[in-house]
Amino acid sequence: MPDSNEGSESSDTSAPSRGWAPLGTATPFGRHIRRYARTTADNTDSDSKGVEMKRSALSARRALETINFLALNPHGAYTLTELSRALDISPASMTDVLASLVTLGYVARHPVRKTYHVGAALVTIGESAAERHPVIGLAKDEMQRLADRGYEVVGGLLVGDDILIASIAGRPRGGSRRIYRGERLPLIPPFGTVFLAWMEDAEVAARLNRADVRESPAALREVLDAVRARGYAIGLSNSAPRRERTEILTALAATPGDEGLRTALRETMIVERDYALLDVDPAQEYHVASIAAPVFDFDRQVVFALVLSDPGVLRGAEIERAVSDVMESAVHLTRLIGGRHPGEA
């Protein structure tokens, strides 16, 4: 809902606060989120050219953060004040960002309510991206087939050092965190092991180094080797760091570039060491967080991951059936896009 004093968009000059959840819901994590303040700042520089370059880069980042936020909330409409608070951008800077995006058509402004939402110009960009990455569209039928069997299914691909949630099918099970299309997760184990497993060792090391992941190389190598040998990844749920991680991931969904939140997320990964299920006993029960299968392109690179998200407590025999389901879809998608498995001639 718009603020009561939103008649003049620039009237609110108070410092923006954190505490925003996707889709405009009130978040219970405001206090938690503020513990991890953003590290980016408007640094000054005696060199005017250097200052100008920094300002331009910061303006571009803010514009992209605004687009990402609105794309995460396609049915929402937000006032300037709400966007300022959600993205931790001052009202004055937010005004400039929105003015530019509205002019370009990437953001639209309601003439009466003075709220902002995704603009029509993003449609052509999305269609062009879909043509360049056909696996996203082709995956929908397979994902729905899996969803019809009772799974929540997530489709992800690598974007830089992040995993972008490109599509979702099915409904989350009770107690699991809601996942949003367009959400980004940092490539930090246990997230993304199905991507890392087929990378060269040097690339894995470089990515984890950039993410400042303090994982034992030997332990990680054991996990990745097992994923590669089996052809899929199974992640277990650890209740201790899971609660805190859920809070952090909810906050990251709204502000994916927040380095403080990313650092906090890495700390929860350090606590949880036994996140991968390497050997399945058909008679034993496991609390499964995810089952992920890779989709390969023509160059035998993992371009997409099909993930059964938080299937819950399963016996080993049930895990094997779930693995069979998701692997069947992943193999079919690989064939549809003309991909090749690394083991094929």
Instruction: Tell me the CATH number at 75.
Output: 1.10.10.10
Q: What is the pLDDT of residue 9?
A: 43
Q: State what percent of residues in the chain have pLDDT above 70.
A: 74
Contact 135, 304 (CB under 8 A): yes
pLDDT band at 248 (very low <50, low <70, confident <90, very high): confident
Contacts of 320 (CB under 8 A, 6+ apart): 280, 282
The count of other CB atoms within 10 Å of the CB of residue 286 is 19
- For residue 196, the enclosing domain spans 133-238+274-336
As a whole number, the mean pLDDT across the chain is: 79
Q: Number of structural domains, the chain?
A: 2
178: left (phi over 0), alpha (psi -120 to 50) or beta: beta
Q: What is the pLDDT of residue 137?
A: 93
- Evaluate if residue 254 carries a pLDDT over 90: no
- Evaluate if residue 132 carries a pLDDT over 80: yes
320 and 183 in a single domain? The answer is: yes
Residue 284 lies in a domain: yes
Residue 213 lies in a domain: yes
Q: State what percent of residues in the chain have pLDDT above 90.
A: 44
Say which residue, 72 or 47, is predicted with more confidence.
72
65 and 170 in a single domain? The answer is: no
Say which residue, 228 or 254, is predicted with more confidence.
228
Residue 17 lies in a domain: no
Q: What is the pLDDT of residue 33?
A: 34
Say which residue, 37 or 177, is predicted with more confidence.
177
- 3-class DSSP state for residue 217? helix
pLDDT tens, residue by residue, 50-97: 666 677 888 898 999 899 888 888 888 999 999 998 888 999 999 999
Say which residue, 153 or 23, is predicted with more confidence.
153
Q: Where are the beta strands (DSSP E) in 63-219?
A: 107-109, 116-118, 153-159, 162-169, 184-186
185 and 322 in a single domain? The answer is: yes
Q: What is the mean pLDDT of residues 320-333?
A: 96
- Evaluate if residue 18 carries a pLDDT over 80: no
Instruction: Indicate yes or no: pTM above 0.85.
Output: no
Q: What is the mean pLDDT of residues 286-305?
A: 94
Q: What is the mean pLDDT of residues 248-271?
A: 68
